[in-house]
Amino acid sequence: MKKLTPAQKAAKKKRQNEYMTVFMDGKQKRIKRPPTIDGMSADDFIMNNADPIWLHQNEMWENIEVDEEDSEFEHEIPSTPEGWLREISKAYLDAFEAIPFGIFVGQKLTPKDLFHLGPELCLKSRGIKRTKTSLKKATEAALSSYVATEELAGDLFDIPQISFSFSYIASHYGLNLIDEYMATKLLEYIEDNIGNLLKLTNKNI
């Protein structure tokens, strides 16, 4: 048998990595291998790594593990500004975990894009079913308020945690879970406690 040249060996190895042999209708066929991430298929990668909020957003509810000890009190609105700060920090970290999965929905997510997930996390935190109506109300309130306030906020919205906090709180207002006065006071508190917010989220901006 004629020996392959180094170039031919490299080409053969590349083909083996890109294609696989399967049986279809009793015949062998060469098909392109499905894309992998860290050596795992897309499905396996999602099952091993996907955050519940990503699964919730993409309607993969059957794959979300439910805590049998979950209490209705977990969905109660925080009673103090400090409680809101802790909840927002937790929600931000949930959103942050969704970044690697943006590729599966054709989006490249960065921390500065996470304010778009504010409405999703609002629904999740309050235990509200994700319907077109509920998501639309929360999203419209968050985005319209964001656009109206962006110029006034200046450099503040360059901080991912701040823009996310604004979207998260505005979503609650859009769903009539808090009134305008409370939303304003909460945003003022968040702005006055940026250091604590960054410490709790522990993510680089």
pLDDT tens-digit series, residues 99-153: 776 555 556 778 888 888 999 999 999 999 888 899 999 999 999 888 888 777 7
Write down the domain spans for the chain. 88-201
pLDDT in tens, 54-107: 655 565 544 555 444 444 446 889 989 999 999 999 999 988 887 776 555 556
* Numbers of helices and strands, H then E, in the chain: 9, 4
Extended strands (E) in the chain: 19-24, 27-32, 36-37, 40-41
| Inter-residue long-range contacts of 24-28, CB under 8 Å, 24+ positions, other chains counted | none
More confident residue, 8 or 53: 8
**Rounded to an integer, what distance in angstroms lies between the CA atom of residue 124 and that of residue 53?**
8
Distance CA 147, CA 145 (A): 6
